[in-house]
């Protein structure tokens, strides 16, 4: 059985993304690892100055775990794929290229600055990354995809029906016009934030507990894990012109496992078009 290591930053994905994908790729074994997110704040267009020796940034640590996960280790058996997954987040919604670029630069930086035992060792690592390691994005966050399947929202704990129509609007470009949700004054309760119109998690919090009296009615480790683990991706990805970032993930995974892609269709150009200068399978 082929092994896929999934490196995520969210609790929901850490607990259930492997189970979610296993339903469509039953021949693979999925092993979950977790690292801190590097997209929770806005990524600067201009790269930050180098850090003092011995200190590493969040994205550097993320890249280092990706690289370490491809290593065959003492038993000499490397995973068939290391699949790193991160949320775009609203703060970076207008600059997805900055997210992929930052991670790509961090991979290159590690390859260039790490103390290698030999050039052969460095070249072997670089080749493993190009053949067996990928980076994909969920947009703007994993909860957006729950709005593509109404029962996923129920599993997450929703008490109200969503007004989002996934057939009319791409959930990766999430937007709600639910007047009862948007009419609440900003700051009145925990989900009434100024960014909530385009924030799937805040809208899900509202659907779970409209009164806004409970600070955490929706929990990633409970409702989120249930929703994602049994997510009907066939329904979420019904429209071939929507959800291109998620399609990139499925296409890449199918290719790595040498099986048919269950959801063919246009993929996102930033996470699906490798070239001769790539540092990962898809980047």
How confident is the model over 17-67, as pLDDT tens digits? 999 999 999 999 999 999 999 999 999 876 666 666 555 799 999 999 999
The predicted structure's pLDDT at residue 57: 92
Q: How far apart are CA 28 and CA 20, in angstroms?
A: 12
Mean of the per-residue pLDDT values for the chain?
Answer: 94
Tell me the CB-side half-sphere exposure of residue 242, using CA atoms within 13 A. Answer: 21
Integer Cα distance of 157 and 152 in angstroms:
9
Sketch the domain layout of the chain as residue ranges: 2-142+239-271, 143-236
**Rounded Cα distance, 54 and 70, in Å:** 23
Predicted TM-score (pTM) of this structure: 0.95
Compute the distance between CA of residue 253 and CA of residue 107 in angstroms, rounded to an integer. 20
Cβ pair 65, 33 in contact under 8 A:
yes
The residue to which tokens 């969210």 are assigned: 10
The answer, yes or no, to whether residue 74 has pLDDT greater than 80, is: no
- Residue 45: its pLDDT value, please? 77
Q: Which of 8-12, 19-23, 76-80 is predicted with the least confidence, judged by mean pLDDT?
A: 76-80
Confidence of residue 214 (pLDDT cuts 50, 70, 90): confident
């Amino acid at each position: 059985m082929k092994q896929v290591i999934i490196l995520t930053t969210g609790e929901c994905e850490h607990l259930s993304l492997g189970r979610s994908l296993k339903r469509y790729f039953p021949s693979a074994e999925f092993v979950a690892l977790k690292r801190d997110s590097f997209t929770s704040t806005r990524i600067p267009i201009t790269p930050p100055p180098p850090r003092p020796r011995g200190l590493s940034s969040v994205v550097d640590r993320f890249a280092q775990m990706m690289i370490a996960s491809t290593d065959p280790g003492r038993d000499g058996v490397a995973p068939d794929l290391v699949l790193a997954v991160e949320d775009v987040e609203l703060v970076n919604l207008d600059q997805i290229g900055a997210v992929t670029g930052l991670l790509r630069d961090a991979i290159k930086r590690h390859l260039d600055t790490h103390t290698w035992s030999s050039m052969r060792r460095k070249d072997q690592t670089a080749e493993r990354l190009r053949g067996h390691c990928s980076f994909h994005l969920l947009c703007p966050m994993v909860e957006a995809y729950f709005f593509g399947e109404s029962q996923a929202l129920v599993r997450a704990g929703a008490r109200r029906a969503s007004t989002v129509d996934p057939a009319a609007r791409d959930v990766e470009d999430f937007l709600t016009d639910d007047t009862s949700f948007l009419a609440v004054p900003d700051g009145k309760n925990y989900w009434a934030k100024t960014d909530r119109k385009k924030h799937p998690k805040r809208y899900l919090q509202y659907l779970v507990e409209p009164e806004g009296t409970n600070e955490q009615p929706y929990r990633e480790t409970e409702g989120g894990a249930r929703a994602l683990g049994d997510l009907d991706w066939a329904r979420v990805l019904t429209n071939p012109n929507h959800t291109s970032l998620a399609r990139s993930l499925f296409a890449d995974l199918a290719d790595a496992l040498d099986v048919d892609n269950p959801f063919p269709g246009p993929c996102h150009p930033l996470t699906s078009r490798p070239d001769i200068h790539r540092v990962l399978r898809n980047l």
